[in-house]
A and B are shown apart, each in its own frame.
Chain A
Amino acid sequence: MNRLEFHVFHLMPYPFIPPGEEIESSWITLPNTYFEPEVAHRLYTDNLEQLVACERFGFDGILVNEHHQNAFGTINAPNIWAAYLAARTQRIRIGVIGNALPLHQNPLRVAEEIAMLDIVSGGRIISGHVRGMGAEYHSSGMNPVTSKARFWEAHDLIMKAWTEPGPFVWQGEHYDIEHVNPWPKPLQRPHPPIWMPGTGSTDTIDEVAKRRFSYMQTTTSNWVTKKSFALFRQICEEKYGYTPAPNQLGRVVPTYVAETDEQARREFMPHVMWFFRTGLKIPMHHLMPPGYNGAESMLRTIRGRQAAGVKNFWELSFDELIDQGYIICGSPQTVIEKYERMIEEYGLGMAISAGGPLGSMPHWMVMKNLQIMAEEVIPHFREPGGAPVWERAVPYTHAEIASTYGKPKLTPVVRLDDGRDLPTPLGHIPEVAGG
């Protein structure tokens, strides 16, 4: 088994805005007059090319996500991006990390779209389920107070729609659907892998551990990540009685690799600092709409951050970001050593944002990062031969499916006036159809 999975995550930020120091927020209130569609056309096509290239480079997965009305991440409709990527690639895993379930009126729409993607991609989809950032409640009109309850109910409904025969009745607190019977269902059985991101809250970790899904720690320091992973393993073992698989523990840790440590710092620094100072400029009153969290949980968070001396993203220096482990930057050897330490100390199983784009990075630099990661870092963590996880994906050619699955269980027929059933695939050939 490979010792570490490598996934490239694209937020697709729109960096052509004033610096963080001059704006209240990169979310909600930043006027969209800064958004130039012509510029975005180039940006989007570059961004998508970067993800498509990851297959040839040999990464394990390419990930997109859903964010709304901000410059930090401009993918509003990640399933559309996933469809594009599915068409442009053959075998690499494609993750939508994730769909923000409570922001959608009908969770079945997500169940259907992921199922469509999974089928058309040959079973390559990873389905991330998220609540959506607090800011997105300000800009969608959805109620932050009921968001957590809606999230879990939507999630449960989607899982049931994928795994239990329809039609069935869904009568929940937030969704009442008399006939749940989605066509299609996903190709992967019982369902695509589920990932859920978190920042380390015990509630989230517990729910993910309980369901044996993959937990993805979002951008945090080494200290917080280590604590979260230890908690995850402890809850799996003590409360649910199993040892988590390595790929249940993922971490978003933006990584840049170059020829030397110094060269990596030079190239990464401006784009990292744009990401943290401007892209992540999001004040508390945007991030935490009332009701998104409970008062007690808010109090715990504030006290925890104060006790640990956690700074806001935009207050961290480049050295602090590296020293505290928010990011990794260096020569191939340095990067390998840091990942080794994370495997050893935290049990890291999936490195996410491991190479590739961040912030305002130009296309050429992303490609350079991807290539050096692929050729000089990733092989170190792979089995001999260096194959990514998707080499073992489900069959996807017609020949393979015909060979392993066979024909459809039913043949379409037309019932003729004389009561005979005409099999439609052969119905136009009288000597075969009979008659």
Chain B
Amino acid sequence: MKQLDVACRREGSGPPLLFLHGHWLAGDWTPLHAALAGRLDVIAPTAPGFGDSARPAWVSGRDDLVLFYRDLLDQLGLDKVHVAGYGLGGWLAADFAVWSPDRVASLSVLAPFGLRVPGHPIADVFIMNPASYDEAYFNGEPVEGAVPGPGTPDQGGPEAFAARYGDMGMAAALMWDFRYDLKLEHRLPRLGVPALVIEAEQDRIVPAQHTARWTELLDARRVDVPGGHGFPLAHPERTAAHLIAFIEGIHQ
């Protein structure tokens, strides 16, 4: 990658899907990725500063990641892809579509961050007590081994703790100053690409008013998956099925 030392996993065949992670699950190939790869050509980069991907000093904002993703597509020789993202990744996917509309066949956002809905702020993922993750992300039905955010030294030891702390630090670089971008209100309606919004039935991180607003702004189709914000982990098959159906529908 143009002087970028980043991890990227590509697997499966079918229409190409660039899948962008959010503030957690950054370097992981999860059951959701595997399920998507059954029908799609999944490209899952680990963004600079996350996981094992180095962070050059000049990468300090979401705009830098948009350029990075464009470089990635160039390098892979992909002209146009379907783009999807989860949480912060949904916001980045939207940014990518705003600045590189000609590279985007469709936009899918899963419980996305990025909008301000007065009276319904997104939970502060940076201050959350690890002891409350099961409740906050999984509505009391945790998925074995999935520890979002910084965790504690007891969960995965000091190494895993520090690694998650580092991922969250990069996420903070991207969205601490403002947890939303008011300009999306004006930019999303201009996109005119096929769009899908996937939400949790009961999301305790991203209030339902957000996915409703994304749906309006993108003139999107909206579907839901049972459970809380951790739905891509808790219900990977159902989540993948929605994405696959949407993307395959575009190609029919």
Contact = CB atoms under 8 A, between A and B. Distances in A.
Contacts of B12: none
Interface of A: 24, 28, 138, 141, 143-146, 283-286, 288-296, 298-299, 302-303, 306
Contacts of A290: 126, 150, 165, 168-169, 171-172
A181 to B, nearest CB: 29
Interface in B124-141: 124, 126-130
B127 A143 contact: no
B128 A291 contact: no
Interface in B31-76: none
Interface stretch (B82-90, B111-119, B151-159, B230-238): B151-159
B161 interface: yes
Given A143-B172, A145-B172, A24 B165 contact: no
A143 B177 contact: yes
Interface of B: 124, 126-130, 150, 152-153, 158-159, 161-163, 165-166, 168-173, 176-177
Nearest to B162: A299
Contacts of B165: 288, 290, 293, 295, 298
11 contacts: A138-B126, A143-B176, A144-B169, A145-B173, A285-B127, A289-B126, A293-B165, A298-B161, A299-B159, A299-B161, A299-B162
Contacts, number: 68
Contact of B172 (A284, A285, A291): A291
The 5 closest A-B pairs by CB, nearest first: A295-B166, A290-B168, A291-B169, A299-B162, A291-B172
A302 B169 contact: no
A289 B150 CA distance: 10
Contacts of B128: 285
A24 B127 contact: no
Contacts of A288: 165
Nearest to A295: B166
Contacts of A141: 177
A306 B162 contact: no
Contacts of A145: 169, 172-173, 176
Nearest to B23: A290
A302 B168 contact: no
B127 A289 contact: yes
B153 A291 contact: no
A293 B150 CA distance: 13
A308 to B, nearest CB: 14
Nearest to B161: A302
B153 A295 contact: no
Nearest to B169: A291
A295 B53 CA distance: 13
B20 to A, nearest CB: 19
A286 B131 CA distance: 13
A306 B169 contact: no
B154 to A, nearest CB: 11
Given A145-B172, A289-B127, 7 more contacts: A138-B127, A288-B165, A290-B168, A293-B165, A296-B162, A299-B158, A299-B161
A344 B126 CA distance: 44
B74 to A, nearest CB: 28
A24 B130 CA distance: 13
A141 B127 CA distance: 12
**Residue from B124, B128, B152, B172 whose CB has the most chain A CB atoms within 10 Å:** B172
B112 to A, nearest CB: 20
A284 B149 CA distance: 13
A296 B176 CA distance: 21
A295 B126 contact: no
Contacts of B166: 294-295, 298
A295 B169 contact: yes
A265 B169 CA distance: 43
A43 to B, nearest CB: 28
B162 to A, nearest CB: 4
A262 to B, nearest CB: 39
Contacts of A298: 161-162, 165-166
Contacts of A295: 162-163, 165-166, 169
A292 B150 CA distance: 13
Contacts of B173: 143, 145-146, 291
